[in-house]
Amino acid sequence: MNRLQGKFAWVTGAGTGIGLSGAAALAEAGALVVMSGRRLDVLEREARLIKDKGGQVEVEPLDVTSPQDVQRLVDDIKSRHGKVDILVNNAGLNTQARFWRDQTLEGWNQIIRTNLDGLFYCTNAVLPLMRSRKDGLVINVASWAGVYPSSVVGPAYSGSKHAVVAITETLNREECTNGIRGCVICPAEVNTSIMDLRPEPPSTEIRAKMLQPEDVGRAICWVAEQPPHVCINQVIISPTWNRAFIE
Instruction: Report yes or no on 2 lying in a domain.
Output: no
82 in a structural domain: yes
* Alpha carbons 43 and 47: distance in angstroms, whole number: 6
In a domain, 200, yes or no: yes
pLDDT at 247: 67
CA 79, CA 75: separation in Å to the nearest integer?
6
Tell me whether residue 3 is in a domain. no
Residue 88 · residue 183 · CB < 8 Å: no
Active-site positions read 157
How many domains is the chain partitioned into structurally?
A: 1
Which domain range does residue 173 map to?
8-246
Any domain includes 213 = yes
Does residue 33 fall inside a structural domain?
yes
Specify if 73 maps to a domain. Answer: yes
In this structure, what CATH number is given to the domain that contains residue 59? Answer: 3.40.50.720
Residue 145 lies in a domain: yes
Mean pLDDT of each 10-residue bin along the chain, 247 residues long: 92 98 98 97 98 97 98 98 98 94 95 98 98 98 95 94 98 98 98 86 94 98 98 98 87
Q: In three state form, how does the secondary structure of 35-89 look?
A: EEECCHHHHHHHHHHHHHCCCEEEEEECCCCCHHHHHHHHHHHHHHHCCCCEEEE
